[in-house]
Copies of this chain bind each other. A is one copy, B any other.
Amino acid sequence: MAKPPTIVDVAHMLGVAPSTVSRAFNNPRILKPDTVARVLAKAAELGYVPNRHAQALTTGRSGLVGLVIRDVSNPFFARAIRATQREAERLSLNAIVVECDSDADREQRLIDRVLPQVEGLVLASTRLSAARLTELSRRTRVVLVNSDLAGFTRVLASASEALDQGIRLLAGAGARKLAYVGGPPYSWSEAERWGTVRRVAAERGLAVTYVSANMGTYGEGRAAAVSIAEAEVDAVVAFDDVIAHGVLDGLTILGVRVPEDVRLLGCDDALPIETHPRLSTVRLDIEQAFVTAVRALAEGSVSGQRILVPGVLTVRETT
């Protein structure tokens, strides 16, 4: 692994100053076009590539953003990672992905570790307290996704409107008793979804049973099917698709037919596989949300604005 050529090597070979080489890359317009061409040609010939560490040291810009998520195995985050990376790429940035397991202390620790290398952080469904976030935002740029804290720039992938539509659809089909299978407590998404379900159900005069699936796993969803069957509801709204599929499987095992006996609505639409019957869900525009977040980071707008990205109701076979 030979030591790569530096800006000085290129300069010497051409009999120009190192600063000229630097300018050929960063500010070519102030140079004579011919000079730029010669520098670029020689650089290519030598295989010169700017040393990002040196650049970072002088400019303070590392070209890195951090993406902090809870759980890589949740398909929601696959779409999040992809969108973040694509947008970063477009902005000549790279993304560091950090998984923190819904554990605030671990999250803080990992953030402290990446902090010195990144230009900014996208925090998805963070568990950090407002105080810690305020402290953090003094050290780096921060954009929140799916956390609604005033004062911070935040992007919210909202299911509310689509969920409203979905419940009206359920009610229109004759549903009178509803179950909502909730996800991670204290998260903004959970608050929004449960809030919407409760409100719309009340408006329509539907009864609602709350069943919890705190960790948001498939197994919890399947276990929840038991209480759901006991409650004799006509429809189930699940926090997300993973839970919804658990419920679907659990219900099937118990001999409850979907959608004939019970209708089922999920949320996210991120699974790499479908099932039979195909799950009706709220398709969240996760890509849009994370692209927006990365852009806000890059623009460095300390705007503190609140951006809502609505999902759309996607009716398939379980409603």
Q: Is the CB of B114 within 8 A of A97?
A: no
Alpha-carbon distance A269/B316, docked complex (angstroms) = 27
| Residues of chain B contacted by A310 (CB below 8 angstroms) | none
Q: Is the CB of A57 within 8 A of B53?
A: yes
Query: Does chain B have a CB within 8 A of A150?
Result: no
Partner pick for A97 among B85, B110, B253, CB 8 A cutoff: B85
Query: Does chain B have a CB within 8 A of A54?
Result: yes
| Residues of chain B contacted by A271 (CB below 8 angstroms) | 272-273
| Residues of chain B contacted by A2 (CB below 8 angstroms) | 138
**CB-based nearest B residue for A251:** B276
Query: Does chain B have a CB within 8 A of A212?
Result: no
Query: Does chain B have a CB within 8 A of A157?
Result: no
Q: Is the CB of A99 within 8 A of B73?
A: no
Contacts known (A53-B57, A99-B85); A272 close to B74, Cβ less than 8 A: yes
CB distance from A10 to the nearest CB of B (A): 15
Hey, what's the 0/1 contact readout for A40-64 against B, CB within 8 Å counting as 1? 0000000001111110110000111
A contact residues, total (Cβ < 8 Å): 56
Q: Which of A51, A98, A138, A275: most chain B CB closer than 10 A?
A: A275
Hey, what's the 0/1 contact readout for A87-118 against B, CB within 8 Å counting as 1? 00100101111110000000000100111110
Partner pick for A276 among B51, B94, B139, B249, CB 8 A cutoff: B249
Alpha-carbon distance A146/B1, docked complex (angstroms) = 24
Q: Is the CB of B89 within 8 A of A78?
A: no
CB within 8 Å of B: which of A173-217?
217
**CB-based nearest B residue for A271:** B273
Query: Does chain B have a CB within 8 A of A283?
Result: no
Query: Does chain B have a CB within 8 A of A252?
Result: yes
Partner pick for A275 among B115, B140, B249, CB 8 A cutoff: B249
> What residues make up the interface of A, taking CB atoms closer than 8 Å to B?
1-2, 4, 49-54, 56-57, 62-64, 72-75, 78-79, 81-82, 85, 89, 92, 94-99, 110, 113-117, 138-140, 217-218, 222, 242, 245-246, 249, 252-253, 270-276
Q: 24 interchain pairs (CB within 8 A)?
A: A1-B138, A53-B57, A56-B56, A57-B57, A63-B117, A64-B117, A72-B81, A72-B82, A73-B75, A73-B272, A75-B75, A75-B272, A85-B99, A94-B113, A95-B97, A97-B97, A218-B272, A218-B273, A242-B273, A249-B274, A249-B275, A252-B276, A253-B276, A271-B272
